[in-house]
A and B are shown apart, each in its own frame.
Chain A
Amino acid sequence: MTLSRARLWVLGGAAAAIGLGLVPLIATADSVSDHALWIELDLVIGTGFAAVGLFAWYRRPDNRIGALMVATAFAWYLLVASNTDPSLLFTVGNLLNNLFVATAIHLLLAFPSGRLETAVDRVLVGVAYTATTIGWFPAMLFMDPVAFGCTNCPDNLLLIDSNVGFANTWLDVLGVVGIAVMLSVLARLVQRWRGASTPLRRTVTPVFLAGGTLMIALAVLLAVGLFEPWEDAVTKNIFYGCLVAFGLVPYFFLFGLLKGRWIRGRGLGALISWLGQAHHAGELREELARALGDPSLELAYWLPDSGQYVDAEGRPVELPHPGSSRAVTEVERDGRRVAAIVHDPALLDDPELVRAAAAAAVLALENGRLDAELRAKVEELRASRSRLVEVGLSQRRRLERDLHDGAQQRLVSLALTLRLARERVGGNAGEAERLLDRSREELDQALEELRELARGIHPAVLSDRGLAAAVEALANRAPLSVELGEMPSERVPERVELAAYFVVSEALTNVAKYASASQASVAVSKANGRLMVQVSDDGVGGVDVERGTGLRGLAARLEAIEGRLHIKSEAGRGTTVCASIPC
C-alpha cells in the first residue's frame, strides 16, 4: 500500500481536523459529564495513532502497519463522536464505537510485518471486525439512550423500538464473543513472542506488552460488563484503564523503533571503531552480528570467476530464496558485487542501518572475499590435483590391460606356435611352414599393437612434426572420413599441443565407437592467446559427459593446464567437442 507524500499530508490534515473539530462538540455536549477527560483522550490517543502511523507509513510504504495505525486513529474518533450531541454523530459513533478495538487487534496480530501470517490470526481479525460493525447493528435498533439511564443523550436515529431486555442480551452475547477473541489474541501474542528471534523480539516486546495489557483489560471489562451495568463506576474505571493501555500502543511502537535503532546505532559505532584497528579475518561476522544485534547473521562472499557465493572457507553456499525465513542484503563496492549479508528479516524494519553497517565494513568484506576466493581456489586446485592423480592411475590401469590383452597375448601365441613349429620342423615340413607363416602374422600384429600403444602414451609424430601433422595422421587412421579444417601454422608449447592432440584423438575414437557418424571434421585455431580445438560429427549425439570415463579424463587433463572442455551433443543432431587451452 503506497501513497505519495502529498496524500500522507492530506491524511494527516484530515486526522488533525477531525480531532480538533471534535473538541468544541465534546465541550458543549450535554450528555457528557467529564468534558476535559474526553477532550484529552480525543487529542492524545487520536494524535498518537495518526502521527506515529503516518511516520511509519512514510518510512515503510510497503508495510501495512502505518496504514493500520492511521485507520485505528479514525476508528478512535468514532468512539469520541459518540460523546457529542448531534444525533447523527451520536448514532454513528455509538454504532461503531468499538471498531477501534478491531483495528487494534488487526494491528497487533499483523505487527511488525503488516501481514496476518496464520489462518488463526485472519479468523480472529475477521470476527473482531464483524462483531464491532454488523454485530452492533441489531442492538442499536432497540437501544433507547433514555431507557439506559441517559436522559441528556441525543436521539438514537436507528431506534425502532425500545427493548432493554433484548439489547442487553445481545450485548452479553457480543461480550462473550469479545472475551474469547481477546484471550485468543493474548495467547497468539505470547506464542509469537516466544517464537521470535532475538532482533525480532527486541522490536515486538514493547508493542506486545501494551497490546497484551489492552487485551487483558478489555477481557476483564467485558467480563464485568456481563454482570454490572455499563454506566457504573467499576466498569467506567476499567474502561479508562483499557484506554490507557490502548493509548500507549503507538508510543510503545515508537519506543521499540527508536530503541532498536539506538542499540544498533551504538553497535555500528563499535563496529566502526573495531574496523579502525588491526583485526583478523573471521571475526568480521561476529562483529557485524554484534553491531546489528543478530547473532544468526551469516556472510557469503561473491566469486565472480565461478559466479557463485561461498562461505569464509570457500565452500559454495546457496542464498535463501525471497520469501523464506531469512533476508539477504547484498553488498557492492564501486558497482561490483562483493558479498551478501544473510540476516533476520526483522532487521529490514531499518534497512538503512544494515546498509550503513555493510558500507562501513565494505573494505573488510572485500578482504574477506579475497580470502574466501583464495580458499576456494586452493580447494579447487586440491580437487583438480586429486582428479589428475585419479586419471593418471586409471590410464596406467588401462595401459596395463591393453598390454596384457594385446601385445602380450600375441607374443604368448607366437611362443606357442614357434614351439609347435620347432617340433614339426624335422618331420612335417609343410606343417612347419604353415606354423611359421602364422608366427609371422602374430608378430606383425603384436608390433602394430605396440605401436598403437606407444602412440597412446606419447605420439612421436607430434614432437617431430607438430600438431597439424599429428592431427592429419589421426584423421588418416580414423575408420571414417575426417575433413580437416584450419590448422595452426606455428608451434605452441608442447603440453598444449599434446592436450589438443588427445582431445582430437579421444573425440575421433568416440565418434568411431559410438556416434554412427558418416563424417567428422576437425579444426584447430589460435585466437586471443588460446588454442581452440573443435571436433564435430554428424552422428546420433546425446553424449553424457559424466558417464564417459574418456571424456572425464580429458576434462581433468585440460583442467590441469587451465583449459576448458565443452561438449554440445543434442540427441539426433551430432556432437561437437570444443576445447579451449591457454597458450
Chain B
Amino acid sequence: MRETVLIVDDHGGFRACARELLEADGFKVVGEAADAASAIAAARELRPDVVLLDVQLPDFDGIQASREIGALDGGAVIVLISSRDLSDLARALAECPARGFISKSELSGATLRELLV
C-alpha cells in the first residue's frame, strides 16, 4: 500500500515539484496546504501517513504546528522541511514531535522513506 502524504509549504512551485517527485517514487500525495492553520485542518480531515511540514509558514511557526498535528489522533509521521540548514534548527527539532528533517533541495522519495523505517 502506498503511504499518503500531506505537503505543507507556502511556495506553490515547491509544492508542485515535491508532489511530482514523491508520486514518481511511489507515494500518494493526498493534499497540499500553504499555511499552518489549513495544514492542521487538512491533517485532521485527510489522516495522511506523513506530513511534510515547512518550518517557516506565513501564519505561525511550523514547529508549533507540528505539536498540534502531533496531538491529533491517527499518528501521522511529521517530517520537517526547510531551505535552511539543519544546524539552525537542531534545537527546535529536538523539542517537537517531528520524526526528522529533510533539507528541501535533498527531498526525494528515497530520503523520505529512510526516515519512515
Contacts and interface: CB of A to CB of B under 8 A. Distances in A.
B104 interface: yes
B108 interface: yes
B71 interface: no
B21 A413 contact: no
B29 to A, nearest CB: 14
A187 B18 CA distance: 91
Nearest to A410: B13
Main secondary structure on A side of the interface with B: helix
Contacts of B21: 416, 419-420
Contacts of B107: 416
Given A412-B104, A412-B105, A417 B17 contact: yes
Interface residues of B, number: 15
B14 A420 contact: no
A413 B24 contact: no
A409 B24 contact: no
A429 to B, nearest CB: 15
B105 A409 contact: no
Interface string B57-94: 00000000000000000000000000110000000000
A416 B83 contact: no
Contacts of B3: none
Interface in A413-455: 413, 415-417, 419-420, 423-424, 442
A404 interface: yes
A368 B30 CA distance: 76
A409 B83 contact: yes
Given A408-B83, A409-B83, A410-B13, A416 B24 contact: no
A484 B83 CA distance: 42
A262 to B, nearest CB: 76
A335 to B, nearest CB: 62
A215 B66 CA distance: 87
Contacts of A412: 14, 83, 104-105
A228 B24 CA distance: 126
Given A420-B21, A420-B24, A409 B14 contact: yes
Contacts of B99: none
A405 B56 CA distance: 10
Interface in B41-62: 56
Contacts of B84: 404
B113 interface: no
A462 interface: no
B18 A409 contact: no
Contacts of A238: none
B20 A409 contact: no
Given A420-B20, A420-B24, A423-B24, A415 B105 contact: yes
Nearest to A422: B108
Interface string B19-42: 011001000000000000000000
Contacts of B17: 413, 416-417, 420
B20 A413 contact: no
A159 interface: no
Nearest to A408: B83
Given A408-B83, A420-B24, A442-B13, 8 more contacts: A404-B84, A410-B13, A411-B105, A412-B14, A412-B83, A416-B17, A416-B21, A416-B107
Q: Enumerate the 9 nearest inter-chain pairs by beta-carbon distance, A residue then B residue, closest first.
A: A415-B105, A416-B17, A412-B104, A413-B13, A413-B17, A409-B11, A412-B105, A412-B83, A408-B83
21 contacts: A404-B56, A404-B83, A405-B11, A408-B83, A409-B11, A409-B13, A409-B14, A409-B83, A412-B104, A412-B105, A413-B11, A415-B105, A416-B14, A416-B17, A416-B21, A419-B108, A420-B17, A420-B20, A420-B24, A424-B24, A442-B13
Interface of A: 404-405, 408-413, 415-417, 419-420, 423-424, 442
Interface of B: 11, 13-14, 17-18, 20-21, 24, 56, 83-84, 104-105, 107-108
